Structure 1
Amino acid sequence: MDVFSNLNWIVKKGENWALGGVSGSGKTALAKAIIGDLDVAGSVETNFDLTSSLRPETLYVESWYQFKNVEGVANFYYQQRYTSQQAKETLTVNAELAHFGKEKSLNLSDTKSLINALGFAELSNSQLIELSSGEHKKLQLVKALWLQPQLLIIDQPYTGLDAASRKNLNRLLDNAAEKGTTLILISNDEELPSCVNRYAAIANGKLKILDSAPSSDFAEADLQRELPKFLKQAPVYQSEQIAKMVNVNISYGNKKVLKNINWEVKAGEKWLLQGHNGSGKSTLLSLINGDHPQSYANELYLFGKKRGSGESIWDIKQHIGLISPEFHWYFDSNATVWESVASGLYDSVGLFARLPYSKAKQVDETVEYFGLTDCKNERLANLPLGKQRLVLLARTVIKNPELLILDEPCQGLDKAQTEYFNHLVSELSQHGMTIIYVGHFEAQLPKCLSKKLVLSHGEVIKNENIIKEDKAKDSTVTVQF
């Protein structure tokens, strides 16, 4: 299958581009073609200015960071990120930067202003496996801007970044452009740096030049399908109390990640969890999901039982559907789409048992509802990132769980897909499911959320009801996957 069809594009000095298009349209493939990582029919030429003080090279920053342990292996498992302080299996941020600087002959002291601008200074001694998706993106960006290449291509530059970090990044990108770096930002985001002066999107294998920032105007297929019958049934609750934390504290050595957290989630509630990058959101969720070993040292109740009263991690997970960027990192991408969705029934990272007819039918209905039938036998690794995320989103709801934990679920989805998924979340919420949703931007949230918990530096600074304005009923969402 051809990704491009007679695609022509000229990027001139002084131009800074925003490249958009729906998930799977070929944006990442085009970036890889430019850097020579993808064979194409035709020619790709890059002409550097040899008189410039900037490096005569192209740097491509991938949409997420594929790090390895100290032995050069990347076979991590999800829960490992919460025990790595003892294991010491990955480099620290400082060590990773030092290694990159040595490889590229850079001065480590030049990173200080970049690290401060992105609010990354406190993480210098943290191991790579401990970082959240937003913190990994910051590490990628620090290295890229430190290098000062003549051509810088960034795939999804704002992934996982909070509002303040986005604004600071845009200032840094403006500074880089002012010094002569040519930027190509692969993004459908409309809050771009002011230096961006050219816009394009890929559709049907061709590059279309635009007059303004790419948006969801390229959505084409109506995916308003009826919710499967089994998802219209209320979850079977074991307790009216989903989670309760009493003066919970989490520390790694002298570093306090959570401080005196008091929070209760009741059956059927819809919570928004917010906080800046590194505020402790992922750690808080790891306690509820049963993944954090320090949960036994705290007063924590899950589904009506005190943590440590004899339940296993799998006893907890049977009540929960979870999606997070970190979980996506560690998921088995060799499984097929159908197997990946079905694995949610057993909380596994692959399917190891033959399903009875009733369960297989449930998987088929979910796959169909998410518009994945045409690729159900494809390996997850062969799908574009946005479609991979959609598969894992389907996996989270397959067992109609009591609690749905959605940690930045729409990373990697375009604007129309995000609207569609949030519409689905709101529809699910009408049937009694409890929801904890992590999201930075109010405009990209489902409308069903009614309570909000906000963290800052590991402490609760807000625990309140969400006051909503009267709005018209949801319009039909149109989207292409």
Structure 2
Amino acid sequence: MSQPVVHISKLNLKYHHTVVFQDLDWVIQPNQNWLLCGTSGSGKTSLAKAIAGLSNTDGTLDLHFDPASTRPALAYYVANWYQFKDLEGQSNFYYQQRYNSQAEQTVATVQAELESFGKAQGLQFIEALRIAEALAYTELLPSSMIELSSGEHKKLQLVKAVWLAPQLLILDQPYNGLDTLSRKRLNTLLEEISVKGTQLILISNDAELPAVIDRVAEIREGKIQEVTFEQRSRNEMAHSGKAVPSFLKTAPAGTAPEHIIKMIDVNIRYGEKQVLKDINWEVKPGEKWLLQGHNGSGKSTLLSLICGDHPQAYANNYYLFGNKRGSGESIWEIKQRIGLISPELHWYFDPTATVWQSIASGFYDSSGLFCDPGATKKAQTDQVLDYFGLQEYKNVLMTELPLGKQRLALLARTVIKNPQLLILDEPCQGLDQQQTQHFNQLVDELSSHGTTLIYVGHFESQLPACIEKRILLENGWVKSVETILESA
């Protein structure tokens, strides 16, 4: 009988004094392809990194690769997100920097990044082009890395992984940020390399999986259990049922203008590349919008105009909260009325703040807390901390938390000031189904009291029930605007 590809026995791991695994056992035989699941913070990423040799553990962890295979004999891990560096090896970027035309001069292009990876791995670049074309990515090859959205960064790492096609490929939340078509094309590519000798371990909360995934492992209380696909779904659907904090059950403060957003023939161009084209869009108070479009359709750029982060804001004709943009209001006056979460904000948020400080910073739209909030705001922060189940992490630094817990803290930060406008850009990335359901119930509650909502989401199953209108972008144009739920 052949040796197992992965043999784990009595594996123990602590993460910042917290026990993650205790005597964990797992065996992966040749030709098996696994889905690795579990609640947020259960240790999925830690286990994946341990298998790929990226973290130290206590116990037995042996890998046995096939010497006769033409595939690289290694376990290759693709992280949930990718922290790129500039040409000087630095990664200290700031949130608005991707919209700065000078920033692209200090960061490599997508093509240069792929060429460097291919050279290091001894790969033929023509194969990378084939994969990029399959993922509708070739148009981005000349783009600077800093210009990419979260979904476009994810695609870049997936192009590398499929191109390398190692004997064991571990993908951590590979569908985050990908549009529907890209998810289907990725599954086809993964099925192709699996047939040719690549085994897969996928960490995913999503129902859409490659057909070759035939086993499910779930981490529970520090140990691995093999379960069926049906059991996995049932285990993730439990719900906490906590009551929404009372101060969030009131209408947002501030006057109600005729329109929250009104855009008139808005255009954004970078040199010869036009990102937004003649956008006309009006959002009235209390409306609940779904913003959709394929990766690179212009969603992130559109949101950056609303939040005051884009330098071309003053060159366009649009209104925010009833005021013409550029008529004297400051960026901070705009941000005070907006609650924002996005993958990019998560990337650039201060990781050295504690969870409590991070949540309270939402009152001030800062990355970290730099003042005493006062008794009322402190009490409200504690209430939201409890609602999101983060009490035990109150004084823990953000950098010491798993990404799922970090996202919960930032979601709490997003709603803490009960803003007039909620902008939720892929808010549930990294959350399990229970957490997603819990957060969307909060969104429905806020919306019922007059909060205006713009929700960006590619997964129809993860949307709040309150969504009533949809705007669809395609290549920078408004392809369609439709009503999907009649308001009461």
Q: TM-score range by the shorter chain?
A: over 0.9
CA distance in 1, matches of 2:194, 2:326: 54
CA displacement at 1:213 relative to structure 2:
6.5
CA displacement at 1:86 relative to structure 2:
5.5
CA distance in 2, matches of 1:133, 1:424: 25
SS of 2:61's partner is: coil
SS of 1:240's partner is: coil
| Structure 2 residue 461 is matched with structure 1 residue 440 | no
8 A contact 1:340–1:395 mirrored in 2: yes
Aligned counterpart in structure 1 of residue 405 of structure 2, from 370, 382, 387 = 387
Aligned counterpart in structure 2 of residue 244 of structure 1, from 247, 262, 267 = 262
SS of 2:279's partner is: strand
| Structure 2 residue 389 is matched with structure 1 residue 398 | no
Q: How does 1:6-405 map to 2 (within 5 A)?
A: 6-84=23-101, 87-212=104-229, 215-219=232-236, 222-238=239-255, 239-405=257-423
CA displacement at 1:221 relative to structure 2:
6.8
8 A contact 1:190–1:213 mirrored in 2: no
8 A contact 1:189–1:215 mirrored in 2: no
CA distance in 1, matches of 2:112, 2:326: 37
8 A contact 1:320–1:402 mirrored in 2: yes
CA displacement at 1:127 relative to structure 2:
1.1
SS of 1:425's partner is: helix
8 A contact 1:34–1:44 mirrored in 2: yes
Structure 1 runs not aligned, ≥5 long: 471-481
Stretch moving more, 268-277 or 211-220 = 211-220
CA distance in 2, matches of 1:363, 1:49: 54
Query: What do the CA deviations read for 1:324-378 (whole angstroms, capped 9, x no partner)?
Result: 0111000011110000000000000010011211111111111111111111110
Distance 1:281 1:35, change over 3 A: same
8 A contact 1:450–1:466 mirrored in 2: yes
Query: What do the CA deviations read for 1:436-462 (whole angstroms, capped 9, x no partner)?
Result: 000112221101111111101110011
SS of 2:261's partner is: strand
CA distance in 1, matches of 2:393, 2:28: 34
CA distance in 2, matches of 1:424, 1:442: 18
8 A contact 1:15–1:198 mirrored in 2: yes
Stretch moving more, 78-87 or 91-100 = 78-87
Structure 2 runs not aligned, ≥5 long: 1-17
Distance 1:167 1:87, change over 3 A: closer
CA displacement at 1:226 relative to structure 2:
2.0
Of structures 1 and 2, the one scoring higher in RCO (CA 8 A, sep 6+) is 1
Query: What do the CA deviations read for 1:127-167 (whole angstroms, capped 9, x no partner)?
Result: 11111111111000000111121110000111111110011
Stretch moving more, 206-215 or 181-190 = 206-215
CA distance in 2, matches of 1:289, 1:180: 47
| Aligned-pair identity (%) | 59
Q: How many residue pairs are counted as aligned between the two chains?
A: 470
Aligned counterpart in structure 2 of residue 410 of structure 1, from 413, 424, 428 = 428
Q: Which residue of 2 aligns with 1:478?
A: none
Stretch moving more, 139-148 or 205-214 = 205-214
CA RMSD after TM alignment: 1.6
CA distance in 1, matches of 2:233, 2:92: 36
CA distance in 1, matches of 2:167, 2:180: 27
SS of 1:245's partner is: strand
Q: Which amino acid aligns with 1:362?
A: Q
8 A contact 2:104–2:147 mirrored in 1: no
CA distance in 1, matches of 2:245, 2:227: 39
Q: Which amino acid aligns with 1:343?
A: S
8 A contact 2:360–2:369 mirrored in 1: yes
SS of 1:335's partner is: coil
TM-score by length of 1: 0.95
Query: What do the CA deviations read for 1:366-423 (whole angstroms, capped 9, x no partner)?
Result: 1111111111110111111111111000001111111000001001111121111111
Stretch moving more, 219-228 or 338-347 = 219-228
Query: What do the CA deviations read for 1:68-95 (whole angstroms, capped 9, x no partner)?
Result: 1111111111011111465522111001
CA displacement at 1:38 relative to structure 2:
2.0
CA distance in 2, matches of 1:269, 1:94: 41
Distance 1:39 1:213, change over 3 A: farther
Distance 1:301 1:29, change over 3 A: same
8 A contact 1:246–1:260 mirrored in 2: yes
SS of 1:122's partner is: helix
Q: Which amino acid aligns with 2:244?
A: L
SS of 1:262's partner is: strand
8 A contact 1:21–1:214 mirrored in 2: no
Q: Which amino acid aligns with 1:184?
A: I
